[in-house]
Structure 1
């Protein structure tokens, strides 16, 4: 492990949190890429509103991924956001290709947001049980943002 900047956590807890953080980092990065896939390919009624919304939601997800990665470093680990690692570790199913309708994209993306939010809530519990309230708090804030954005995106479904 690298130098640890967080005090009060034993090495075992720090290692567990690094694994938990990196697992969720993969999910958040995959969600970001799913959002961009949607952003680039949707067409039809309501296009511009959803297209612009996805710019905003992507920016928020990028902030979440930075916060997660920074916490990994604080705990003495190495964040791993390489495409090969994300593809291997994500809990998300591959984003569908060949769809263009706004409604189809909105549904596919909203499902993914909800899945990431679910894994973040599981991570909140695991971090709390491990005694790392700072990491639990990070996951709590991330889940609030993801839940809200799932609602914003999902509200565009017909």
Structure 2
């Protein structure tokens, strides 16, 4: 009887531990606000990639690298080449949470073609300009490192901000 009780206890402990690990993985996978750049659009707790329709290029949030075509090959670099002359603060950004979206570039190019060449500055709020305290963990934000208590004291809560042009993996 003690053996059966011990085995049951070991199995139950393993199941609880596995459930806790899965919950932690889900939390880590679904929240990366602190890793997003200050020029990223607000309204996303998780962003794997940004797509820039204006220049048909991507930004990998995890590796902090741009992905762009160069002579028919996809290049990965921490900065865009000067030939792009692209302002990431003003340009339209689409959040894409699919692995290696550049491998399906024609899908994203066609899907978001209507955003190419438009003036989006101000119509797509960015993290740097947000007063939502959840963005204070983003390095480069004017309130970086400030606690929530300062925002509440000043009355600058803004719960109405929403991002635009997101892709949750539905094509």
Range class of TM-score, shorter chain: under 0.3
Higher-Rg structure is: 2
Higher relative contact order, structure no. (Cα contacts within 8 Å, ≥ 6 residues apart): 1
TM-score by length of 1: 0.26
TM-score normalised per structure 2: 0.25
* Greater percentage in helix: 1
